[in-house]
Amino acid sequence: MSEAFYSHARLYDLMFPAAGPAVEFYRAAVNRRGGCVLELGCGTGHKLIPIASDGHPCVGLDFSADMLAEAQRKASEHGVAVEWVQGDMRAFDLDRTFDFVFITANSLLHLHEAEDLVSCFRSVRRHLAPGGRFMFDVFNPNVRLLAEADGVRRTRESLSFTDPDRGDVSVDVAEIYDAPAQVTRGNGTSRPTPSLTSSPHRWKSGASSRRSCRCSSRSAACGSSSGPVTGPVSHLARILRFNSASASPRN
């Protein structure tokens, strides 16, 4: 989605509320590992705030200052200490290492170019403590869902939500799959029910879309573009474990 969309942190939280299974999955993973934690693309702190509440030293990095401001507000509201850092997951330097680094809710799919992914992984490697663990989750390939990205505007029930000020809000989305770029591009409109008078809120998804997909081949397709993972995250998590005794030198 566009940078403008992420400037509406409250709207984002209404559309993508914290998913219990995903939160508990990462929370349990961190509790098993222990130590210092870094989340890249932390957004408004859906997962990092509960992890920090378990007593782990946590740092959250995100490109959006608005998302970080909302994360700070929520952490303060819960009495939880988290260090929030504005930065780019492709290239960051926090001058320390972490025992657990993770990227969740398809945030890694913002990186469409192979060199950006490599740069991100190198930055992660530089920040991993000996024996540290790196986890991320992304959509599973799904050709059927990409075939439905035909440009027709449809109501996306999974994104509809209740706004305290506007009542029930429906979200319409039109998407087109850009096969050469391996990215789903589209735009959406959130609209209140007919009995309400608020004007619709519009956004576009483009090169930085969390709803975008990148696959390993042009014949592959990525899954539903409806936001954070809602399926069994145990099946979606990709685990990369780096051990200082076997890892290549840091780049």
Q: Where are the domains of the chain?
A: 3-140+229-241, 143-205
Q: So what CATH class is 3-140+229-241?
A: alpha beta
| CA of residue 166 relative to chain centroid, distance | 26
Query: Percent of the chain at pLDDT above 90?
Result: 45
Query: Percent of the chain at pLDDT above 70?
Result: 74
Nearest CA-CA partner of 90 in 66, 62, 67 = 62
CA-to-CA dists, residue 27 to 13, 47, 186, angstroms? 19, 8, 33
More confident residue, 70 or 141: 70
Task: Note the pLDDT of residue 177.
Answer: 86
Task: Note the pLDDT of residue 164.
Answer: 86
- Residues 31-58: what's their mean pLDDT? 97
135-192: pLDDT as tens digits = 999 887 678 878 888 999 988 888 888 888 878 988 888 989 888 877 788 787 777 7
103-144: pLDDT as tens digits = 998 899 889 889 999 999 999 999 999 999 999 998 876 788
Distance from C-alpha of 165 to C-alpha of 60, rounded to nearest angstrom: 29
Q: What is the average pLDDT value for the chain, to the nearest integer?
A: 77
Q: Which residue's structure tokens are 């997962």?
A: 47
| 98, 127 contact by CB (below 8 A) | yes
Q: Which residues contact 27 (CB under 8 A, 6 or more apart)?
A: 47, 50, 51, 54
